[in-house]
Amino acid sequence: MYRASINPDVLQSFPEYSALILYANNLTNGPSDDYSTALLRGVEREVREHMSLEDLPEQPHIQAWREAYRRFGSNPKKFPDSLEALLKRVLKGNELPGINRVVDIYNAISLEHMIPAGGEDWTKLASDLVLTKATGTEPFVVFHEGQETVTYPDKGEVIWADAEGVTCRRWNWRQCKRTQLTEDTRHAYFVLDSLAPYTKEQLQEAGEALASHLQHVAPNCTISLEILGALA
């Protein structure tokens, strides 16, 4: 099984960063269902009851991620982190679309625990995964208007990558097509990204909540968690 790690250069530039990595084996994924949809709708209601679009700049974790994006040369207004992107959509009154059971779950965890979250199919990886600074030559493959399109990260951009290329650009902004979670995914890894002032207790709580929901929909799933970075 491939593992995730953080390049020391990233931690040198962002010593306040931590990642909780959750590895899930023998998942039972499938289309969005009553459980995952109810989870999303419930969290969306909670977000709207306690927050507005005007409140976003005052949220400590949003502030931290905006500053981190600026530090590696990315405009957070043009390219918001994945948490802020979800929050903006929900606070504008929109429901998040159902993708599949597992993606719905990690999107709900992201909103509930105010943390960027993502997941990918580890059987689609070509090697161990590393959070690193891009050289600018790593291919990033997406589908645009039905066509496979290859782009490249900016030099110095923080990316997740394996031997085949970029799996996620701008830290947690956009994932590639190759490793995306599908209804057929059985083995996956999930990344919860935290920056100070997010605490170890908050990070662990978010990871345990994700594990609990995954085991609810996939009782035979085996899960392991590890924390990398500042809070390890």
pLDDT given at position 35 = 98
Task: State the residue range of the domain holding 118.
Answer: 4-229
Cβ atoms of 65 and 81 within 8 Å: the answer is yes
* Distance between CA atoms of residues 91 and 114, nearest Å: 14
Give the model confidence (pLDDT) of 9-66 as tens digits. Answer: 999 999 999 999 999 999 999 999 999 999 999 999 999 999 999 999 999 999 999 9
Per the DSSP assignment, residues forming a β-bridge with 223 are 24
Tokens of 224: 């392991």
Helices 34-50 and 82-91, packing angle to 10 deg: 80
Which CATH number does the domain housing residue 76 bear?
Answer: 3.50.40.10
Query: 120-142 burial, b for 16+ CB within 10 Å, e for fewer?
Result: bbbebbeeebbbbbbeeebebeb
Q: What is the pLDDT of residue 1?
A: 83
Provide the pLDDT for residue 108.
99
Q: Tell me, what's the pLDDT at 48?
A: 98
pLDDT at 144: 78
> Distances from the Cα of 79 to the Cαs of 43, 70, 75, 125, 139, in angstroms?
24, 10, 6, 25, 19
**Domains: count for the chain:** 1
pLDDT at 146: 79
Predicted pLDDT of residue 143: 81
pLDDT of residue 142: 87
| This model's pTM is above 0.95 | yes
Q: Which residues of the chain have pLDDT under 70?
A: none
